[in-house]
Amino acid sequence: MSQGIAERARLLREQINHHNYRYYVLDNPEIPDAEYDRLYRELEALEAAHPQLVTPDSPTRRVGGKPLESFAPVAHRVPMLSIHTETDIEASGALNFDARVRRELKLKDSDPPIEYACELKFDGLAINLRYEQGVLALAATRGDGETGEDVTQNVRTIRCIPLRLDTPSPPPVLEVRGEVFIPRPDFERYNEKQRESGGTPLVNPRNGAAGSIRQLDPAIAAQRPLSFYAYGIGETAGWETPASHSGLLDALRELGLPVSGERAVVQGPQGLAAFHDDIGRRRDSLPFDIDGVVYKVNSLALQAKLGFVSREPRWAVAHKFPPEEELTVVEAIEVQVGRTGALTPVARLKPVFVGGVTVSNATLHNQDEIDRLDVREGDSVVVRRAGDVIPEVVAVVKDRRPQPEPARFQILQRYPACPVCGSHVMRQPGEAAIRCSGGLYCPAQRKQALLHFASRRAMDIEGLGEKLVDQLVDLGLVRTPAELYKLGVAKVANLERMAEKSAANLLAAIEKSKRTTLARFIFALGIRNVGETTAKDLARHFGSLDALLAADADTLMQVPDVGPVVAESIAQFFAEPHNREVVEQLRAGGVSWPETAPQRKPLGALAGKTFVLTGTLPNMTRDEAKDRIEAAGGKVAGSVSKKTDYLVAGAEAGSKLLKAQELGIAILDEEALLGLLRPEAQGKLDF
Ligand code: IVH
């Protein structure tokens, strides 16, 4: 082996370590990933051809070790202590600490303020990194503070931790202490991937970090997105220790160790409180979890003078924020019916203090979210409340699930009817929400229904706005739109801020609204997916309410622009007896409109025909083709079935084409489709 090859390997190691540092520590890469990969592969190849070139600090050696039987104990030469914690939310945490320090140092009020180094309290796992002659020789957990566990193999996989210190003259011994953690975006990304591949997601970043470091197989740790920040030192030999804590962190950074930029040197307790508040405000926008801030007397000489009490330094304190995540138990899953009729599942929790408040409910959003989390009644769960965001269940601790296992939670099974009004509930295809269909009748939807009913483009009841609706409903005067027409002066005049004159005006407006149009009336019913335009189309097509009430979903689909989803909404709405009752009461109460003859638009050339599109057409986009087919009255479906009349196939048509051929369905190219769409073709088709 020539000298040149050894030199090349050394140079590659140096370059790769440098780029690792730029990428993982500074988050500021100089070269594209592909270039990095090229360097890495070149070094790998060199080392494979010349194994004697491999050094323990080679970047290719981050994962190499075999799974362990158990972790070896490591005695800490300098004990790993913990810090005293102040949990109060107010600034008094800072004041108390400063007062204690001044008392211990026997300072007078007239003495100048003490200088402090402020930093973040990272929420992960404490680690001691021992560098000997500049090379990472040993990494150990804190353990009981005296003895930890040798987790070197796992720690070597953490890319931002240098395997060799960046200095030509390393100290014989330098122990660096800090926290291993998982950044939140990396945590979310990792869990997303796990879910997609059917793996087990991590419960939260802190458990994830601690659990990863305690894996016996380093290959597992290597897959976890672990990160590290240094915040102190342990044993040193032959290292010129800086005079201050902030200087010490600067020096560690110079050596290539990751040190968080979120730190400050401040004077006195006001400086501490300002740092606490600033970080508290920005806590949720930091890319990792913290559970507080740490204040340290900056001068190492003063630190030595202050010393320790019962395994805690007198010169440092952690000032905690309220926790944002806690463990609790789901006592039950219930649903709430919203103003729009959506049934939202809610986890009733054993009360827990999180995010600064006691939380006893957390939304589960919808059935999809319940399925994604696989949350069941009785489960232990992690609840998160960050900032002002509503509390959420973020994970289930599966190994704490009660035995025998509770059943999977299905909203539709538990609530086949609306828990508020008893109307039937449904989930429309493509929609996440399960809804109560009793829109006109359901007390949960009352206010919304009345407001919509009275709105300008619906029944146009002037003056009936939010405040009045609130009062009418809250006082129990009106339960359904039909009851608006039974209101008398006596009742209305009793409402707040309602003089006799305005009461008369309101009643007149209600009276006036009785004469309306069928389109307005249909729109006013607030049927899901039925806007003003659809309401007009329905009115024109059917001409009378009775014809509309008699229509089933198939008949409804004959109305131009009414597809399966809208048709289903309408059919479901009128299938609910409660809604029909209200409609009848409205008619009986005097609401009326001029009846007209049904005006059916002439059927398009392709009416009643179902098309499926596949492949790329030469001149039309799929959307264009779809629009033109629909404009001619045809329907476009997503998949080929026996009901398909035509398959329009372009270039690179795949499985749909095969299926259509199997079923003997007519296959058209673009030209043939255009032929069908031409006006002269109308009427000539054999329908
Ligand atoms: S200093 C002698 N600084 O909090 C002082 N600790 O109870 C030693 N921690 O287990 C700790 N961020 O894991 C220090 N900026 C920080 C920290 C920090 C998080 C953890 C550490 C330790 C615990 C202290």
Q: Which residues fall within 8 angstroms of residue 268, CB to CB, at 6 or more apart?
A: 98, 113, 114, 116
Distance CA(445)–CA(576), nearest Å, equals 15
Atom index in ligand 1 nearest the CA of residue 120 equals: 15
What is residue 685's predicted lDDT score, i.e. its pLDDT?
40
Q: Tell whether omega for the bond before 404 is within 30 degrees of 0, i.e. cis.
A: yes
Enumerate domains of the chain plus CATH numbers: 3-61 (1.10.287.610), 84-320 (3.30.470.30), 325-414 (2.40.50.140), 421-601 (1.10.150.20), 610-681 (3.40.50.10190)
pLDDT at 450: 95
* Nearest alpha carbon, ligand 1 atom 22: 82
Residue 122 near ligand 1, beta carbon < 6 Å: yes
Per-residue model confidence (pLDDT) at position 41: 93
CA distance 417 to 435: 10
Radius of gyration of the chain (CA): 36
Is the minimum distance from the CB of 83 to ligand 1 under 6 angstroms?
yes
Secondary structure, 3-state, 88-141 = CCCCHHHHHHHHHHHHHCCCCCCCCCCEEEEEEEECCEEEEEEEECCEEEEEEE
* Lowest model confidence (mean pLDDT) among 135-139, 341-345, 365-369, 625-629: 625-629
- Nearest atom in ligand 1 to the alpha carbon of residue 126 is 13
Please write the tens of the pLDDT for every residue from 307-333: 998 889 999 999 988 788 889 999 999
Whether residue 81 has its Cβ less than 6 Å from ligand 1: yes
Question: Does position 216 have pLDDT exceeding 50, yes or no?
Answer: yes
Average pLDDT over residues 4-29: 89
Q: 3-state class of 45 per DSSP? A: helix
- Mean pLDDT in residue range 632-661: 88
- Report d(CA 459, CA 482) in Å as an integer: 12
CB 175 within 8 A of CB 118: no
Mean of the per-residue pLDDT values of the chain: 90
pLDDT for position 603? 65
Q: Are 609 and 557 in contact (CB under 8 A)?
A: no
Rounded Cα distance, 167 and 109, in Å: 44
| Closest C-alpha among 350, 330, 301, 279 to residue 114 | 301
* Residue where the block lists tokens 């269940």: 393
Residue 602 has pLDDT above 70, yes or no: no
pLDDT at 92 over 80: no
**Alpha carbon of 581 to ligand 1 centroid (Å):** 67
Distance between CA atoms of 297 and 538, rounded to whole angstroms? Answer: 76
CA distance 639 to 586: 43
Residue 684 pLDDT greater than 50, yes or no: no
- Give the best-scoring range by mean pLDDT among 102-116, 343-357, 467-481: 102-116
Look at ligand 1, atom 9, and give the residue with the nearest C-alpha: 121
What is d(CA 136, CA 159) in angstroms, rounded to the nearest whole number?
13
Indicate the pTM of the whole model: 0.65
Is the Cβ–Cβ distance between 194 and 201 less than 8 Å?
yes
Mean pLDDT, residues 372-384:
94
Banded pLDDT at 2 (limits 50, 70, 90): confident
- The alpha carbon torsion through 171, 176, 182, 184 (nearest 10 deg) reads -100
- Give the Å distances, CA to CA, from 538 to 518, 542, 547, 599: 9, 6, 10, 10
| pLDDT range class, residue 85, cuts 50, 70, 90 | confident
**78, 82, 259, 309: residue to mutate for ligand 1 pocket, most atoms within 8 A of CB:** 82
Q: Which two tokens stand for residue 615?
A: 């492949």
Which of 121, 296, 320, 635 is an active site residue? 121
Quick one: CA dihedral 573, 577, 582, 584, positive or negative? positive
| CA-to-CA separations, 350 to 321, 377, 410, 433, in angstroms, rounded | 22, 12, 21, 26
Active site residue 659: no
pLDDT for residue 414 is more than 90 = yes
Q: Which residues contact 451 (CB under 8 A, 6 or more apart)?
A: 464, 465, 466, 469
Q: In angstroms, how far is CA 624 from the centroid of its own chain?
A: 35
Task: Indicate if ligand 1 lies below 6 Å from the C-beta of 661.
Answer: no
Q: Which helix or strand (DSSP H or E) is residue 610 part of?
A: strand 610-614
pLDDT of res. 179? 97
Smallest Cα–Cα separation from 272: which of 88, 94, 90, 87? Answer: 94
Compute the average pLDDT of residues 589-606: 82
Structure-model confidence comparison of residues 633 and 440, the more confident one: 440
Spacing, Cα 534 to ligand 1 middle (Å): 63
Tell me: pLDDT of 633 over 70: yes
Is the pLDDT at 91 greater than 80? The verdict is no
Count CB-CB contacts under 10 A for residue 229: 24
Confidence at 682, pLDDT banded by 50, 70, 90: very low
623 pLDDT exceeds 60? yes
Q: Measuring CA to CA, which residue among 429, 439, 422 is closest to residue 341?
A: 439
Q: 289 CB less than 6 Å from ligand 1? A: no
